[in-house]
Structure formats: C-alpha cells, structure tokens
Amino acid sequence: MIPGAATVVASIVTVWVLIGASSAIGQRVNRFDPEDWVTLRDFRFVTSVAVSNEIAYFGTTAGVERLDTLRDQWLAPITSADGLPNERVTAVVVDPTGGDLWIGTARGVSRYAEFIGEVERVFGPPPTFVEELRIDPDAGTVFARVGGGWWSARVGSPAMERSPPPPGDARGSIDVDVIDPFDLPWTDPLYVDSEIDRSQSVRLTQLDRDLRGDFYVGTWGDNGRLWGRARLEWEPLLFGLGGRGGGPIVETTNGMWFVPIGRPRARTEPAPVAIAFAHRDGRWSYAVPRSEPGLPTALATSASASGDTLYLGSDYGLTRYAEGEWTTRGWNTDPPSDAVTALHVDGPRLWVGTSRGLTLWDRDTDHPTAHFLTGRSITALAVSADAVFVGTSLGLYVGPRDATAGAGFAPDSFVRTESRGSRIRALAVRDTLLVVATGVGLGVFNRSSGEWRFVAAVEGRLEAPPLAVAIDDRQVWVGTDRGLVRWRLTTDEWDVYRPSDGLAGLPVQHLLAAEDAVWVSTPDGVSRFGWRQARR
C-alpha cells in the first residue's frame, strides 16, 4: 500500500503526535514524554492480544502496541525504552478493573501501570521465557506460567508466588488455532489478505474481544486486525516500522518516511521489508518493492524530500515517489555505476552523489545538467545558502551554489578543502556552522571566522568515531556505535544517551533534527528524543 492509495486503513490521529511535525501538533507531544523518549520498532509480528474497556493491547516481537478503541487513536508503544526487560513479548493480559497491563516477555514478567504510564518490575518468577498469562477477575488474581510452573499475585501486587494453575474460566489471549471455526464470524479462520503486501496472505495468531463484541486479532507479519460486529469486515490496524531501523528518516508535507536498512532477519521477519510511512492524519501505510511498480528495493542508503516528493538512493539508482507513483532510473556515469550514495534536494535541483561522482539534476525536466568530481566516491552532501559541501572517500570538497540551475558551474567548480581525516562519513550545515564527521573524529568549521575546531574520536568526550551528524538551533547531535552524543556548543557541555536511557539500539546510523526533538535511527528501531522537555 502506498500513501494516497484508496485502501482503507484505520484513521488513527494520535500516531502523528509521535512525530510532532507542526507546532500545533507538537504542543501535544508532552502527553507521551514522561521520560522524553518514544521508540518505534517493527511491530508487525503479533504474539498476544488483550482488550480492556478502552484500550486494545497487541504484544509483538518488538514491544506492545496500544490502541485507544474509544477514540480510534494509537497511543505511544511500550518498548524496552520504557523499561521492558526484553522486547520480545510473549503474553499480555489486562486487569479489567484497574486497567493495569501484565506483560510476559522472553526475560520475565512486568506490569504496566496505565494510570501513571510506567513499567514496573514484577518480583518472584525467574527472569526467563513467560509461556502464558491468565487473569481471574472475580478473585482479582493474575497467573503466570514460567519454566513450566505457575506463579500468581493479586493484581495490585508487584510480587508473585508459586501457586496452583489458574481456574478454567481465567482469561487470557486466545490462540486462533484452538477456536472452533464455526464460532468465528469470518470465513477463513486462520488467514487474511495482507494489507502491507497485497500479493500475500498472513496468518492470524491471537485474539480477544471487547465489551461490544468486536474482535481484535493479531497477525504474523501484518500488525493487527479489527473485526467489527457492525461492519462485518476486516479493518487493518497498521502501526510501526516496516522492517529493521537504521535507514534514513525523511519528513515530507504529508508525513514522515522511515526507511529500513540492511537485510531482514529470517527468523523474525518472514514478511518482506517495507518502507513505512506515518501520514500526518495518523494513518500508517507501507511500500513493499514487489507490490509497487517502480520501487526496486526498500533498502536505501540515502534519502531527501521536497514537499510531497521523496527521493531514495540505493544500489539500483535513483528512486522517486511523487503523486502516488514510484519511478526508478539507473545512473550513468563514466565508468558506469548505478549506486546512489548521497542525496540533497536544493529547490528545483537535486544533488546526486554516486560511487563514481556528483551530478546536478534538474527536477523539472528530470535530466542531469552537470557532472563533477568524476571518479570520486561521494559519501555525504550538505547545502548552505551559498555553498555545496561534498564528502568523499578522499576528503571534503566545496563548490558554489548558484541560484540558476547549471549556471556558473564547470567540471572544476569543486575544490578540496581542509579537513582532518580523509574519508568523510557525514556532513551537516546550519547558518555559518559546518560539521564534518570522519573516521578519526569531528571537525567543526566556523565559516564566519574561518576557524576549525577538531574533536578526536576515542579521546575525551567523543568515545567513538562519528557515524551521523545533525544540527539544530542549540546543539550538534552525533551518532556513534556507543550512543547518541549531544554537544551544546555555547556551553561546551557533552551528554551521551545509550539504550539504558531510552535509545532504541546501537549503532546510531542516521539522525534528523526537528524543531523540538531529534530522531535517531538504529538497526533495532527508531527513537524520538524530545530534548526540549528533557529532564537533563
């Protein structure tokens, strides 16, 4: 499914609150920021389902999704960033009176206190695979089967003790396999058509019902489903990434793109890797290569956007998404190479870095206007009001930025400039500040004074070589394989954020600085850090 398609998806307004793209919506982001972090993962694989009077919970291989069923709005997910002992959720059960959610994981039992929005540790059972959770609402007791034995506790207690098995009428997530097909209102009891990849069917996993009699059902590889008693048809409940994180994050007028990187892990990702799109109105949709003509791959190394038009760079060449269509063209350089390694939209032009040079592309005519740095492997691009900065495997180059496409450019327009470290990994520019990431450290160039400042990697406050950089109005953000680094230039303060602080994972491979937050892309997911509300 692609953005703008006629496919019906759940209208879920609150998801865009996680993005906080506009000031009006961004004002509501505090609702999800008790600890300033929100983490998005690949929630497509549902292992368990539980429904309270107001919220449907989907336990997945990457955390817990929460859907406000009364308002038809997604709430922030519960992940390891919130304190789960393990991202693989094996069972969920909800207390219908107090609203607390009991969560079984591959490393023990936790309890999510909905009222205060915090994950609490449950004491007693060993920190190992939780096989089953059940609740007896009449007795006010929750049961957990861990290591083949049963444990129980009063629903308000953080401690469990060994106990007999639960009574037969104790509730829990129901495996679709154990239900008599004649008791289900839909035709095929085990499979539904995929909403992510229309050419496939996906298997149903677990289900639960709400007080209205509606079924909330999980799938293996396609998020959740709602079978409403009134509509008598499937409604897709899509939310989260379409594969591993780690790829570029791009904001457009209508929403935000999350591009996966690397290859899927066969054990947990039988579904095809997809590009995820969070629409501004709160819906989620996905673009799967084999389902979208013109999209050869979802695994891109670079991305850029203007308005509603998205550009992706990959080994297949340059891919564009505009007006509901994907188009891809191979890249012709001398010698031939199709690998697009860096992109930057510059008004009516597009700067395209490849493994064999730099091309200036006219977006209106969809043709190149000039070629530069032939034979150089382009690794990064940044554009200011008057200059274009090009990172290569052999150093940093700078050229003029002319207001007229193609005017004033010659093959030798770009000249090599001073930088410490030959291979440029990432670039960021804002006003008069240029930040250069190399394998040996971080260079900061004040274009007003002409002065360089260099911070060596693995020495002092920069623990590892930088992999990604971004600049906002107050600080420089640096991604490394040790964490997310925040450098406040005016005070020379340094902070490092790690997975224990809420970061989705390591290494940090792409960054996007927004008005009040920074988006961090790692192989284990994408984190949004609301630094303006941060406690430190």
Mean pLDDT to the nearest integer, 453-457: 91
C-beta neighbour count of 439 within 10 angstroms: 13
pLDDT of 138 higher than 80: yes
From 210, 211, 204, 212, select the one nearest 234 (Cα to Cα): 204
Consecutive H or E run containing 104 = strand 101-105
Instruction: Write down the pLDDT at residue 331.
Output: 63
Q: Which residue has the higher pLDDT, 20 or 217?
A: 217
Predicted confidence band of residue 246 (pLDDT cuts 50, 70, 90):
very high
17 pLDDT above the threshold of 50: no
Instruction: Specify the pLDDT at position 221.
Output: 94
Q: How far apart are CA 406 and CA 496, in angstroms?
A: 42
pLDDT at 114: 85
At 517, the pLDDT band (50, 70, 90 cuts) reads: very high
* pLDDT tens per residue, range 478-508: 999 999 999 998 899 999 999 999 899 999 9
Per-residue model confidence (pLDDT) at position 33: 40
| Least confident window among 44-53, 152-161, 333-342, 449-458 | 333-342
Degrees to nearest 5, angle at CA 248 with 244 and 251 = 115
pLDDT tens digits for range 346-379: 999 999 999 989 999 999 998 888 899 998 999 9
Mean predicted confidence (pLDDT) in 404-415: 68
Average per-residue pLDDT in the chain? 87
Report whether 240 contacts 284 (CB < 8 A).
yes
Share of the chain above pLDDT 70, in %: 88
How high is the pLDDT of residue 145? 98
Domains in the chain with CATH codes:
15-237 (2.40.128.630), 290-533 (2.130.10.10)
Give the distance from CA 53 to its chain's centroid: 29
Rounded to an integer, the average pLDDT of 159-173 is: 95
Q: Tell me what pLDDT residue 19 has.
A: 35
- The pLDDT confidence band at residue 421, using thresholds 50, 70 and 90, is low
Task: Answer whether residue 447 shows pLDDT above 80.
Answer: yes
Given a contact cutoff of 8 angstroms between Cβ atoms, the answer to whether 234 and 192 are in contact is: yes
Residues 6+ away with beta carbon under 8 Å from 259:
247, 248, 249, 250, 275, 298, 299, 300, 303, 312
pLDDT in tens, 56-94: 999 999 999 999 999 888 898 999 888 999 999 999 999
At 279-324, the pLDDT tens digits run: 988 889 999 998 899 999 999 999 999 999 999 999 899 999 999 9
Higher-confidence residue of 278 and 198: namely 278
Whether 150 shows a pLDDT value over 90: the answer reads yes
- Cβ neighbourhood burial of 262 (10 Å; 0-12, 13-18, 19+): middle
| pLDDT tens, position by position, 23-50 | 222 222 223 344 588 999 999 999 999 9
Token pair, residue 59, equals: 């336990």
